[in-house]
Amino acid sequence: MPVTYLDNNATTQVDPQVLEAMLPYFSEYYGNPSSMHAFGGGVAARIQHAREQVAELIGASPDEVIFTSCGTESDGTAIRAAIESYPAKRHIVTSRVEHPAVKNLFETLSKKGYRTTFVPVDHEGRLDLDYLYDSLTDDTAVVSLMWANNETGVIFPIEEISRSVKERGIVFHTDAVQTAGKIPIDVGRTGVDMLSLSGHKFHAPKGIGVLYLRKGTRFSPFMIGGHQEKGRRGGTENTAAIIGLGKAAELARRHLAAGSYRCVDELRDHLEREILKRVPRTLVNGDRTQRLPNTTSLAFEFVEGESILLMLNEHGICASSGSACTSGSLEPSHVLRAMGVPFTAAHGSIRFSLSRYTTRSEIDWVLEKLPPIIARLREMSPFWKGAEVAAQSA
Ligand SMILES: Cc1ncc(COP(=O)(O)O)c(C=O)c1O
């Protein structure tokens, strides 16, 4: 059975052109880019080219691009660098809907004595900007906010936030891991100090990330070692992955310029519209106007997300749920809880995330298989029967 992959916010397929660009750097050009000989020097030149390709995708200058191992490392490095650079400041700010890469670091820092603010969101996942601005003080070392949410796709107004935070002289970092390749990123216009990317979210391999560091921003490295990345991230470069990331960045820029993502948007809208039409008591989680073009998070009332995923899996359909298995019970995710999605809906939330490889026939396959799955699960649900009786007697 073919795989219908609609879980691209979890990870993406490596683009064949990316793989092709990488392959010679495993067995043919395997020199160490730090070596004095020309064999290694040639690899260093290719890394520099990849740096330029990434810089072009985000409107940075190449020496503002630092290669890391993943989005998590980029996030952690940025936040730790900011607090180490301003040791007298003990207050840090983020939102209630961040990825664990930021959320769990903030919780750890809180235990270490930092005063932490987790800015709330409304029922559509939009950030409470007044709450954010009111929380900022002279003691605030850093504000770290995601550009786009991995579960709902909701986009925060990063340009406006960046301006306001920086006017107060506070370092601003954004986690743009879900943004790259889906909407344009221009670090010049947004004015962010630091920004994180992860290769495997935009058709490069896993295990490679980027930290953009604006020139002049105070910094201290997390990985201390050799002089690689101008001393800002020690460790021998993951050469093949860096070259793949460069190619992926070039392809992402070209696809964005050509408007290819509009097709993804249309497919996502078609999927969403048809599901809403065919499956009663279904809600969309999050603001539909400020949202990534590839993501829809749908709440099917009175069913369990995990059961839906298992049944979709029988038809080769890959998606993900809005629950996390903690201590044996299926808890709705912290994102849906922060948005105040009712329990009966949060439990049955499913995220579909598309990519430029998603086809119309894959969407049609989901539309054929999903409605009967929900109907069958609801027939087995005592809560659904109760809801039906309540609706009839109302
Ligand atoms: C918003 C966001 N930030 C950070 C990460 C972590 O990236 P990585 O898997 O490269 O560590 C993810 C991955 O899902 C993400 O979606």
Q: pLDDT digit string (tens) for 30-45?
A: 999 999 999 999 999 9
Q: Contact, 248 vs 355, CB < 8 A?
A: no
Q: Which residues of 176-198 are buried (b: 16+ CB within 10 A; e: fewer)?
A: bbbbbbbbbbebeebbbbbbbbb
Q: Distance from the CA of 329 to the center of ligand 1, in angstroms?
A: 24
Residue 296 in contact with ligand 1 by CB distance below 6 A: no
- Measure the CA–CA gap between 139 and 275, rounded to whole angstroms: 48
Residue 74 alpha carbon, nearest atom of ligand 1: 11
pLDDT at 381: 82
Q: Which helix (H) or strand (E) holds 68?
A: strand 65-68
How far apart CA 186 and CA 159 sit, in angstroms, is 10
Kindly state if the Cβ of 70 falls inside 6 Å of ligand 1: yes
Ligand 1 touching residue 178 (CB < 6 A): yes
Domain 4-11+259-393's class?
A: alpha beta
Q: Residue 72 C-alpha to ligand 1 middle, in angstroms?
A: 6
Atom of ligand 1 nearest to the CA of 11: 14
Give which of 72, 122, 71, 127 is closest to 95, Cα–Cα: 127
- Determine the Cα–Cα distance for residues 234 and 68; give it in Å rounded to an integer: 9
Q: Is the dihedral of CA 235, 236, 241, 246 positive or negative?
A: positive
12, 72, 202: residue to mutate for ligand 1 pocket, most atoms within 8 A of CB: 72
- From 67, 149, 177, the mutation candidate for ligand 1 (largest count of ligand atoms within 8 A of CB) is 177
d(CA 229, CA 227): 6
Q: Which residues of the chain have pLDDT under 70?
A: 323-329, 388-389, 392-394
- Quote the pTM value: 0.96
CA of 73 to the centre of ligand 1 (A): 9
Domain boundary assignment for the chain? 4-11+259-393, 16-256
Atom of ligand 1 at shortest range from CA of 70: 10
Q: What is the pLDDT of residue 327?
A: 46
Cα angle 322, 202, 12 (rounded to 5 degrees) comes to 55
Task: Pick the closest to residue 82 from 228, 226, 214 (CA basis).
Answer: 214
Per-residue pLDDT tens over the stretch 186-241:
999 999 999 999 999 999 999 999 999 999 999 999 999 999 999 999 999 999 99
Mutate to test the pocket of ligand 1, among 201, 211, 320, 351 (most ligand atoms within 8 A of CB): 201
CA nearest 357: which of 22, 54, 12? 12
User: Taking phi first (over 0 means left), then psi (-120 to 50 degrees means alpha), and beta for anything else, what does residue 259 get?
Assistant: left
- What pLDDT, on the 0 to 100 scale, is given for residue 328? 52
Q: Check if 102 has its Cβ closer than 6 Å to any atom of ligand 1.
A: no
Q: Which residue, by CA, sits nearest to atom 4 of ligand 1?
A: 71
Q: Residue with structure tokens 């922060």? A: 338
How far, in Å, are 83, 89, 164, 170, 220 from residue 139 at the CA level?
11, 5, 16, 9, 19
Mark whether 318 is an active-site residue: no
The catalytic residue among 70, 263, 318, 325 is 325
Neighbours of 86 (CB within 10 A): 17
Å from CA of 202 to ligand 1 middle: 11
- Closest-lying ligand 1 atom to the alpha carbon of residue 199: 10
Ligand 1 centroid to residue 373 C-alpha, Å: 30
Give 213-266 as a DSSP string. Answer: E-TT-----SS-SSSGGGGTS-S---HHHHHHHHHHHHHHHHHHHTTTHHHHHH
Ligand 1, atom 5: closest residue by C-alpha: 71
Check if 209 has its Cβ closer than 6 Å to any atom of ligand 1.
Answer: yes
DSSP string, 89-137: --EEEEETT--HHHHHHHHHHHHTT-EEEEE-B-TTS-B-HHHHHHH--
Quick check: CB of 101 below 6 Å from ligand 1? yes
* Domain 16-256, classified CATH 3.40.720.10, yes or no: no
